[in-house]
């Protein structure tokens, strides 16, 4: 355990977050996502896990350390509900609240069609599978920068 760091963030996830650079994307997914096969195609090349938490809980832990990229419009995305792209399931509403709290302002989740989401995930730095059992608990987050301290 480390002071000030969520216990949900294990050593493998912490290493990945530290290794990521500005513009690198991570994927947080539910238990139904084809995580292992997609993770093999990412930059890291293996699946990371944060078990026994929901996708929003995992995101809250990640976003306690990782800033979102302010240079792009899709730094936070969600997988669209098939056949109902504007529907926001409870898990996605919770994720929106987590992102808004972490960023200190409303930061809208951009919707991505299911198969486009799979393709997007393949280009990510890493995939983190959670214990989320609700459908559509799949999201991407793109790492931003931390500015230098003011002089």
Give me the active site residues, please. 22, 69, 118
Q: For residue 92, which of 106, 111, 72, 74 has the smallest C-alpha distance?
A: 111
DSSP secondary structure string for all residues of the chain: --TTS-TTS-HHHHHHHHH--TT-EEEEE-TTS-HHHHHTTSSS-SEEEETTS-HHHHHHHHHTT-PBPTTSTTSEEEEPBTTBTT---HHHHHHHHHHHHHHTS--PPEEE-HHHHHHHHHTSSEEEEE---STT--EEEEB---PPPP-
């Amino acid at each position: 355990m480390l002071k000030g760091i969520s216990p949900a963030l294990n050593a493998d996830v912490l290493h990945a977050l530290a290794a990521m650079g500005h513009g690198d994307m991570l994927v947080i997914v539910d238990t139904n996502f084809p995580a292992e096969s997609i993770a093999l195609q990412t930059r890291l090349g293996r699946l990371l896990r944060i078990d026994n938490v929901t996708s929003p809980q995992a995101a809250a832990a990640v976003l306690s350390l990782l800033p979102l990229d302010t240079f792009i419009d899709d730094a936070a995305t969600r997988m669209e509900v098939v056949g109902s792209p504007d529907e926001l399931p409870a898990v996605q509403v919770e994720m929106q609240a987590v992102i808004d709290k972490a960023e200190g302002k409303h930061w809208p989740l951009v919707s991505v069609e299911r198969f486009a989401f799979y393709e997007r995930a393949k280009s990510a730095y890493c995939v983190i599978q959670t214990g989320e059992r609700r459908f559509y608990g799949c999201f991407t987050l793109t790492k931003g920068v931390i500015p230098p301290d003011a002089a």
